[in-house]
Amino acid sequence: GSSKPMKQTLEMPLIKDVMAPVATITLGFSVHEAAKKIIQDKFNHLPVVDENSRLVGIVTSWDVSKALALSKSDKLAPIMTRNVITVAPDDPADLAVRLLEKHNISALPVIDKDKKVLGIVTGEGLSKLISRGVQP
Amino acid sequence: GSSKPMKQTLEMPLIKDVMAPVATITLGFSVHEAAKKIIQDKFNHLPVVDENSRLVGIVTSWDVSKALALSKSDKLAPIMTRNVITVAPDDPADLAVRLLEKHNISALPVIDKDKKVLGIVTGEGLSKLISRGVQP
Ligand SMILES: C[S@@+](CC[C@H](N)C(=O)[O-])C[C@H]1O[C@@H](n2cnc3c(N)ncnc32)[C@H](O)[C@@H]1O
């Protein structure tokens, strides 16, 4: 078959070059509903937003497991992480690598100046970049 | 303070250079017990072994969420993944990057010829390698 030449930038990639779309949930979701969304959408990281679509927390399958392990209530608020480490679209991609390592986390929501969620950067996504020969 | 010079190999790193220790569980565990272990030990990937310590499956917080989402039983067998993608200690590290990408997973158990679990390689661990300037 034919193959198109792959575009490759020699400049340092930015967060917006490596981020992926992400689904969000609201504080009204239960743990059970969050678990369903994680499984259905195959997103492991669900940013939680308030009524103005602003980021207020993040929930992962890890937090769902925590709810089950601790047999806590089915409410999202007690198990979500509130201090979310985030990046901006124009940050350099290597900042994400350093933040993931420093905080021992697997994904970073990308937000704009109004805390609206634009996407997500995962260790997986960064590994893909690297496996294509791009050094972040 | 004083700082030791860091050892750095110019050769391609092997799986055994990048793998981390991992806890395993047996088929006798319940989903609830697996969730507890995931939270307590902070291991997201629990290889499941049989009575001869041979790998038979893997359970992650993802599978725990699936159990909760589907309100399945508390048994481990129905929710664990049986076709585990694995690597060997002497495989090159870049094989792990390719397998994680190809199968859209976040960790690979490292097993010997008898299917005994020696450790685990995660996307995170590989990212750390890369952030230290080593190209897998
Ligand atoms: C397909 S991933 C999807 C979620 C997310 N991308 C992640 O990696 O966690 C989740 C599933 O992968 C399975 N899994 C994890 N590591 C695996 C491995 N090395 N081989 C086969 N399946 C694995 C888990 O049991 C779980 O059912």
Rounded to two decimals, the ipTM of the complex is 0.76
Domain ranges of chain A: 15-131
Task: Name the CATH superfamily for A15-131.
Answer: CBS-domain (3.10.580.10)
Q: Which residues of B are less than 8 Å from A100 in CB distance?
A: 124, 127
Annotation: CATH topology of B15-129? CBS-domain (3.10.580)
CA distance A5 to chain B (A): 21
CA distance A84 to A24: 14
Q: Where are the beta strands (DSSP E) in chain B?
A: 25-26, 45-49, 55-60, 107-111, 117-122
Over residues A53-105, the pLDDT tens digits come to 999 999 999 999 999 998 767 889 889 999 999 999 999 999 998 998 889 88
Residue A4 has pLDDT above 90, yes or no: no
Q: Give mean pLDDT, residues B105-132.
A: 86
**Sequence-separated (6 or more) residues with CB below 8 Å from residue B31:** A68, B64, B67, B72, B73, B74, B75, B76, B79
Q: Which residues of B are less than 8 Å from A31 in CB distance?
A: 68
Q: Does A112 touch chain B (CB under 8 A)?
A: no
| pLDDT score recorded for residue B106 | 84
Over residues B61-109, the pLDDT tens digits come to 999 999 999 876 888 988 999 999 999 999 999 999 899 889 988 899 9
How many A/B residue pairs have CB atoms within 8 Å? 94
CA distance A1 to B3: 54
Residue corresponding to tokens 């661990």: B125
If you measure from the C-alpha of residue B98 to the centroid of ligand 1, how many angstroms do you get, rounded to a whole number?
A: 14
Q: pLDDT-based confidence at B2, cuts 50/70/90?
A: very low
